[in-house]
Amino acid sequence: MNTKKPAAPKSALAGTDTLDRGNTNTKLDSLEKFRSDATEQALRTNQGVKVADNQNTLKAGARGPSLLEDFIMREKITHFDHERIPERIVHARGTGAHGYFQAYETHSVLTKAGFLQDPHQKTPVFVRFSTVQGPRGSGDTVRDVRGFAVKFFTDEGNFDLVGNNMPVFFIQDAIKFPDFVHAVKPEPHNEIPTGGSAHDTFWDFVSLVPESAHMVMWTMSDRAIPKSLRTMQGFGVHTFRMINAEGKARFVKFHWRPAAGTCSLVWDEAQKLAGKDTDFHRRDLWESIETGDYPEWELGVQVIEEENEHAFDFDLLDPTKIIPEEVVPITPLGKMVLNRNPDNFFAETEQVAFCPGHIVPGIDFSNDPLLQGRLFSYTDTQISRLGGPNFHEIPINRPVSPFHNGQRDAQHRTTIDKGRASYEPNSIDSGWPKETPPAAQDGGFETYPERIDAAKIRQRSESFSDHFSQARLFFHSMSKHEQEHIIAAYSFELGKVEREFIRVRQVNEILANIDLELAKRVAQNLGLPVPMAGTVEVRKTSLDHSPALSQANLLSGDIKTRKVAILAANGVDGAAIDALKKALMAEGAHTKLLGPTSAPVTTADGKALPVDASMEGLPSVAFDAVFVPGGAASIKALSADGVALHYLLEAYKHLKAIALHGEAKQLLDVLKLEVDAGLIVGTDTKLFKAFFAAIGQHRVWEREPKAKAVPA
């Protein structure tokens, strides 16, 4: 008997194994010839052409516009745009709302754009907020960039301001966009992780691409875990132009400032919310609009005269750079109010199509190489995702101004065009539709006549070469607690990276060039050798600190729309509840009464109070603050209720304001907690003033070192 073990099958790539398909033996090399290993292979196009430069789009000069003839960039972006159907490739998880924009005054000196001329005119808008990395079913509170896209339905056509809640981006040239997204998306072999960047491919990419350092710093900050969509800033990211009726052009950067202030979750809270309420952000936006707490933002621009284009120690065309507000202040233009929820999520929020190339007279582009690629990419994406070139006829995308041209037919055409001529010029239909000369009243769009005299070249301008100065500026501008959060975020994310050489490279070649103390702290947390110096000489810049970058300086100054949980059991002091509700209502804040169960609770004087939910049904992470009214029987019951005690400990751990009224002071001993600026006790309504002040500070940051030791 032959006892020799059979030889192990050869690799499928070797093409020698066979598979039994009924009576057919088919060689694996024919069945699996699509398998490809790029090891030791040259980078080529899909047509087999070797690529000499995969870092830069073909441009007219190093700082000039991108050229349509760049077949390498177009092939790469086109393939990328069509990778997912019908879900968006990026920004798949989103929510939206209707509203209006209203200018504060006439801005004719700055631009001829009609929607910025009449302070009495309300321009309809639709806004979509989104996360970047995860699919439609991912969580709202993951660490990620948030999309902030606004469609203005102006009388001159649609204007789409397609930005993010961060003012910079990971890359400088659009040709690298597919690479970045492929790196940050779930890893291709196992589709993990969903909705997060804490994995090898993302950190491998950004550690090899130093231009990403500034944006990565933003995403490791609290900006990447916003408290709500209502408390996010928004940015156009790129440098645009505004042009007035006289033809005078200026560079501008777009900014959205929330009226509710800018603030974030803490990391433990964000993680718990991802499990307890996946829809936390979209629910908050929906409920705010339904209750009449309409979210509001101020639109402003930083204005740079053309003659000052090169007056900075960075390049205006570099999308990885900001213009600090201390250098160029923001000029307010008007306000945006969101006051109506969609009637149908799919028909509106899912089918809305934003394209940076949708502009109106008075607004134009710059030669930012990332923007130049987006002008091609977004339209191409919408054609794929929405089934053809007629996506502008879907109601949510349809302009309020009429549109007439010779573009007919194609998939999903709904307009029934009259007339026999679908070309221009024509004499059959009396020449209609006709061009509108730019100089005419309400003239047609005219591209700004920028002079270009340069060689066609694939090259990055030397003015784009400083990758660390603004990342350093951002880190140094943070408050102490914000810096600690950044250190913790880098440590957490890199701790999820399997390959140590990637962690070492990120610490030594990126973080050490931003701030040596930051690099040392992260290295220690990861158990890596501590770097002694950076690898790049520190550039001297005109600004080393920008207070406008710290969220600690961006609070609203009030407690409007804040949510306070009231914990109660039978025997509660009903008068204290009534007084708090009245006082909070006067401040524009909201309360929810929570009991041990969903059953009503009875006050000390025998009155039945309906509760809004149980403490388990609405956890502390859903609120900004917690109030515990007195009542001996109620406090006795809560002191023995593990859910109630956990509720308070969790709120304490997340640095929220907590007020203990009357007998509730006894809970300090039960919980072994000490009074601080946000843990307040009292016996009368004077308690409210200190409590509201603590809520207005968003978090009790001085508590954070102690709170880390509290189990919750």
Report residue 372 as tokens.
Answer: 């130049």
My answer on whether omega of the bond before 433 falls inside 30° of 0, hence cis, is yes
CATH number of 563-707: 3.40.50.880
Report residue 644 as tokens.
Answer: 């109630």
CB atoms within 10 A of CB 344: 11
Query: 222 to each of 235, 471, 475, 484, 560, how far by Cα in Å?
Result: 16, 15, 12, 10, 22
Q: Which residues pair with 163 in a beta bridge?
A: 148
The dihedral formed by the CA atoms of 134, 136, 138 and 141, expressed in degrees to the nearest 10: 80
Predicted pLDDT of residue 85: 52
Predicted pLDDT of residue 5: 37
Residues with Cβ within 8 Å of 630's Cβ and at least 6 positions away in sequence, in order, are: 572, 573, 576, 661, 662, 663, 664, 683
Cα–Cα distance between 235 and 241 in angstroms, integer? 15
Residue 70 buriedness (CB in 10 A; 0-12 / 13-18 / 19+): buried
The CATH superfamily label for domain 471-553 reads Catalase, four-helical domain (1.20.1370.20)
Task: Detail the residues annotated as belonging to a binding site for heme.
Answer: 88, 128, 177, 374, 378, 385
What's the gap between Cα 299 and its chain centre? 17
Residues with Cβ within 8 Å of 351's Cβ and at least 6 positions away in sequence, in order, are: 386, 391, 394, 396, 397
Q: 3-state SS of 103-123?
A: ECCCCCCCCCCHHHCCCCCEE
Predicted pLDDT of residue 295: 98
What single-letter DSSP state applies at residue 662? G
Cα–Cα distance between 656 and 625 in angstroms, integer? 5
> Is 667 in a helix, a strand, or coil?
helix
Nearest to 354 by CA among 105, 633, 84, 151: 151
Predicted pLDDT of residue 384: 87
Residue-wise pLDDT tens digits, 139-163: 999 999 999 999 999 999 999 999 9
Predicted pLDDT of residue 16: 34
Predicted pLDDT of residue 443: 80
* SS3 of the chain: helix, strand, coil, percent, to 5: 30, 20, 50
User: Within the chain, which residue ranges are assigned CATH 1.20.1370.20?
Assistant: 471-553
* Helix or strand run (H / E) with residue 75: helix 71-81
Residue-wise pLDDT tens digits, 658-678: 999 999 999 999 999 999 999
Report residue 209 as tokens.
Answer: 């691409």
Is 530:517 a contact under the CB 8 Å cutoff?
Answer: no
The pTM of the full predicted model, rounded to 2 decimals, is 0.90
Give the pairing of strands 657-661 and 679-682: parallel
Give the CATH number of domain 82-167+236-393; options: 2.102.10.10, 3.30.200.20, 2.40.180.10, 3.40.50.40.
Answer: 2.40.180.10
Is 365:241 a contact under the CB 8 Å cutoff?
Answer: yes
Task: Give me the helices (H) in 511-552, please.
Answer: 512-514, 516-526
Cα–Cα distance between 133 and 84 in angstroms, integer? 13
- Cα of first residue to Cα of last residue in the chain, in angstroms, is 66
Task: Detail the residues annotated as belonging to a binding site.
Answer: 88, 128, 177, 374, 378, 385
Cα–Cα distance between 597 and 570 in angstroms, integer? 11
For the chain, residues with pLDDT lower than 70 are: 1-36, 84-85, 440-441, 712
Cα–Cα distance between 82 and 150 in angstroms, integer? 23
Predicted pLDDT of residue 13: 31
Residues with Cβ within 8 Å of 372's Cβ and at least 6 positions away in sequence, in order, are: 57, 59, 65, 66, 174, 365
Cα–Cα distance between 93 and 465 in angstroms, integer? 34
Cα–Cα distance between 376 and 75 in angstroms, integer? 11
The number of helix segments (H) and strand segments (E) in the chain equals: 19, 22
Given the residues 56, 158, 164, 513, select the one marked as catalytic: 164
User: Within the chain, which residue ranges are assigned CATH 2.40.180.10?
Assistant: 82-167+236-393
User: Within the chain, which residue ranges are assigned CATH 3.40.50.880?
Assistant: 563-707
Active-site annotation holds for 82 = no
Query: 23 to each of 19, 20, 26, 28, how far by Cα in Å?
Result: 10, 7, 10, 16
CA–CA–CA angle 348, 350, 356 (5° rounding): 90
> Is 100 in a helix, a strand, or coil?
strand
Cα–Cα distance between 700 and 627 in angstroms, integer? 15
Active-site annotation holds for 481 = no
Sign of CA dihedral 160, 162, 163, 168: negative
Predicted pLDDT of residue 9: 35
Query: 562 to each of 77, 288, 385, 568, 623, how far by Cα in Å?
Result: 43, 10, 38, 20, 8
Rg of the chain, C-alpha, whole Å? 29
Nearest to 338 by CA among 282, 399, 379, 385: 282
Contacts 24+ apart (CB under 8 A), 306-314: 306/249, 306/250, 306/251, 309/251, 312/542, 313/466, 313/469, 313/539, 313/541, 313/542, 314/463, 314/466, 314/469, 314/470
